[in-house]
Structure 1
């Protein structure tokens, strides 16, 4: 069967590239294409089964049992599996967050959380941060703060009640590299909330670590300041941990690292072990009287037992295999490796991120921090040829986003490091070659 031809004829793609592959099977951190070539997956934390790896038998068995017993329930009713899952989440959640809403994806969970916040507060405006990513639906794209993605909104749609405020990026501060850049970002939030429309702001949505923006991590003072300002003005804090939650950052929740206490916590991706899933958690005292009998948010597959069964299996694996500790250990190994490489390769501008949620910022020049965009585009192809599935993100598509399954074996992890080092050398060579190119070697169109 000619899968490539059938794909071109019948599959409607998004973000397709000429070198995109067709996979047939996977196990753990390994994936095999239709020609039998094996690849190591360093990005499953953002676009796949996440922490437990591909095809974990415990997840498959749990879903199969549930499918044979009770695959779905009308949304008017509960299932025993759903109740067990929600009770388990309450035992793992930040203090006081004992109510869970289950749906089919992270972006969907963000939308549900926003609707919930609007219903709770009676307000209709929502703030998010520059560099944010919260999904690709019409509503969540309106919350996004990455220009490269916002431009794809159909008809340049902009929701007037959704707006961005400057974040406190520590590597490329939007408000200038000054000792007071963090304070300036907090002041920008205060100024927005103190404007004429401040009484209409229901919530601020934020990621603890901005994954698609290149794993941007803020200062502890920024998280503290955001919480203070939101509490003072009775604005709900929605924390998006779709990418960072459930051990990825070396703790159950990334918000624990910076002592952030959300009003609403959104999760997804890793929670399903490959099964489509999303959820948000909140405190029962926030729930208005009568809300749970209203059609405030309805989905065919909300609170379904199949998703709950997959999630229960993942949470069990998380605890039995001590994935928080694995994230810390593997993340420390990778970070130390790349900080050592930074002494030899000046294209490494920054290495950041907690646990095994790491971004390596490649630059053309450390002083200007100009993104090594062209070299990184070629590096993606280079790594793929070597058998490594990678992802580059950030404003300049120049940040190597390293987040393999937390169950990655020692052998596979060391091979990931080996190919990653080869990729660094390749990027350095590309950047040096571009710098040293004579006028006759400059590609056509550059400078025109």
Structure 2
């Protein structure tokens, strides 16, 4: 397709549901034709290294052979089945997922998307506790397809959705680089987490009834790759327990190996009451899960808990889920993510010593963020510079994204697939380093500060 044909289709046939964020200039972006591993190709034959892992869902690489084999098998046997019957792939996925969950988590329920799973997790917490109020992070993202998930995605600014669900409130994220409390443990590494205590108290004062749950991502990905400081999650878990709130970890963007552990919460020494799983759980097909302990699952069921979708337990998506676990285990991808972590941190640290525009580096495994600022002293977000970096990287064959929240869109998010080779990682980092230096010298970041 040429540019004119693409523009005509976009203008005439597509609903511009997110014109500012996604649709602007869409016709000038590559039209993807095929992909394999970390490599993506457009209709013009250009090759790109996908340091975005698609929509965060290709962390096992594009079209992994084991995934392709599983999907082909089900296309020839059965791809869809009524949920009122069990099927072999569904049963196998329940067992395989249960085997890799952190005890006492062992029970699972399958849905289609990450939003589905979050909505179902919140409903489960409400059924179990008898409460209604749900608390999340002000920079968190938990989905956009349901009223409750849009309302808990505070990092997106709820005003874009108009109305917000009742009994949903936010507290400050542990954004150590920009914590407003100079004496906070986020900044000093010791003492009290003042940002947590202060904002939690404020949120609790807005509760309309009995609280039900707290939800957070182990790393706040879309909000700007916010990694909680040591001890933060454990302290927060204890605080939630005082109020009888179940602790939900949204592992959509961190689970199944991305952080160098099988689950993001394993870095924190905390086992959540409920976790949600999606993104690369289906290795390329949409399948998600809500996971919890036998005790909580039984209590929820006794109180009438119900959650499902028409395609929630399809054999073909469940087979893809089984394939994803097989790939992670057989290819040693948890360990591979930890090895990539070391490469990314080494290269990014070296860049930060040369490029003043880099204000902060943070992340785990294959999930990293590079925060760009116009001045390290003022820490003014370099939004325009980040936008220029994303565009220049694309032009030079590297796919990255800019992320952030609340007026800041200045964090370059790096998510190379866990199957990436050392050479591919270094190639991508070479492009990023070259672009960062070019943008820093171009005056774009000074324009952002003007």
User: Considering the TM-score relative to the shorter chain, is it more than 0.5?
Assistant: yes
Partner deviation per Cα, 1:60-83 (whole Å, 9 max, x = no partner) = 110121222221221222111111
C-alpha displacement at 1:434, in angstroms? 5.5
> What is residue 401 of structure 1 aligned with on the other side?
413
The answer as to 2:292 corresponding to 1:282 is yes
Question: Secondary structure at the residue paired with 1:134?
Answer: coil
Alignment of 1:230-245 (within 5 A): 230-245=240-255
Question: Secondary structure at the residue paired with 1:127?
Answer: strand
C-alpha displacement at 1:192, in angstroms? 4.8
325 and 434 in structure 1: CA distance in 2 versus 1, 3 angstrom threshold? closer
The number of equivalent residue pairs is 433
C-alpha displacement at 1:376, in angstroms? 1.3
56 and 239 in structure 1: CA distance in 2 versus 1, 3 angstrom threshold? same
Question: Secondary structure at the residue paired with 2:391?
Answer: helix
C-alpha displacement at 1:190, in angstroms? 5.2
C-alpha displacement at 1:48, in angstroms? 4.6
Question: Secondary structure at the residue paired with 2:419?
Answer: coil
- Determine if contact 2:184/2:194 at 8 Å carries over to the other structure: no
The answer as to 2:15 corresponding to 1:12 is yes
- Determine if contact 2:111/2:287 at 8 Å carries over to the other structure: yes
- Determine if contact 2:123/2:305 at 8 Å carries over to the other structure: no
Distance 2:60 2:112 in 1: 18
306 and 250 in structure 1: CA distance in 2 versus 1, 3 angstrom threshold? same
Distance 1:26 1:141 in 2: 31
- Determine if contact 2:371/2:411 at 8 Å carries over to the other structure: yes
> What is residue 96 of structure 1 aligned with on the other side?
104
Range with bigger deviation, 126-135 or 160-169: 160-169
Question: Secondary structure at the residue paired with 2:176?
Answer: coil
215 and 99 in structure 1: CA distance in 2 versus 1, 3 angstrom threshold? same
The answer as to 2:134 corresponding to 1:126 is yes
C-alpha displacement at 1:194, in angstroms? 5.7
Structure 2 length-normalised TM: 0.91
The answer as to 2:30 corresponding to 1:25 is no
- Determine if contact 1:380/1:391 at 8 Å carries over to the other structure: yes
> What is residue 210 of structure 2 aligned with on the other side?
200
C-alpha displacement at 1:298, in angstroms? 2.8
287 and 434 in structure 1: CA distance in 2 versus 1, 3 angstrom threshold? closer
Range with bigger deviation, 397-406 or 229-238: 229-238
- Determine if contact 1:193/1:201 at 8 Å carries over to the other structure: no
Alignment of 1:248-287 (within 5 A): 248-287=258-297
Distance 1:434 1:96 in 2: 49
The answer as to 2:190 corresponding to 1:185 is no
Question: Secondary structure at the residue paired with 2:438?
Answer: helix
Show structure 1 runs of 5+ residues with no match. Answer: 436-441
C-alpha displacement at 1:294, in angstroms? 4.9
> What is residue 36 of structure 1 aligned with on the other side?
45
Partner deviation per Cα, 1:201-251 (whole Å, 9 max, x = no partner) = 100001111001111111222111111112222210000110011110001
179 and 287 in structure 1: CA distance in 2 versus 1, 3 angstrom threshold? closer
Question: Secondary structure at the residue paired with 1:210?
Answer: coil
Choose which of 296, 308, 312 in structure 2 pairs with 1:298: 308
- Determine if contact 2:184/2:195 at 8 Å carries over to the other structure: no
The answer as to 2:113 corresponding to 1:105 is yes
Question: Secondary structure at the residue paired with 2:373?
Answer: strand
Distance 1:179 1:311 in 2: 41
Partner deviation per Cα, 1:280-315 (whole Å, 9 max, x = no partner) = 100110124582895722311112221110011111
Question: Secondary structure at the residue paired with 2:178?
Answer: coil
Distance 2:433 2:415 in 1: 16
Show structure 2 runs of 5+ residues with no match. Answer: 187-191
Alignment of 1:313-324 (within 5 A): 313-324=323-334
Choose which of 372, 382, 393 in structure 2 pairs with 1:383: 393
C-alpha displacement at 1:139, in angstroms? 1.9
Distance 1:189 1:314 in 2: 38
> What is residue 176 of structure 1 aligned with on the other side?
181
The answer as to 2:351 corresponding to 1:345 is no
Choose which of 66, 74, 77 in structure 2 pairs with 1:69: 77
> What is residue 56 of structure 1 aligned with on the other side?
64
Structure 1 length-normalised TM: 0.91
Distance 1:191 1:288 in 2: 32
The answer as to 2:425 corresponding to 1:425 is no
Distance 2:172 2:217 in 1: 13
- Determine if contact 2:133/2:168 at 8 Å carries over to the other structure: yes
Partner deviation per Cα, 1:95-139 (whole Å, 9 max, x = no partner) = 111111111111111011111111111111110011111111232
C-alpha displacement at 1:57, in angstroms? 1.7
C-alpha displacement at 1:10, in angstroms? 2.4
Distance 1:389 1:292 in 2: 47
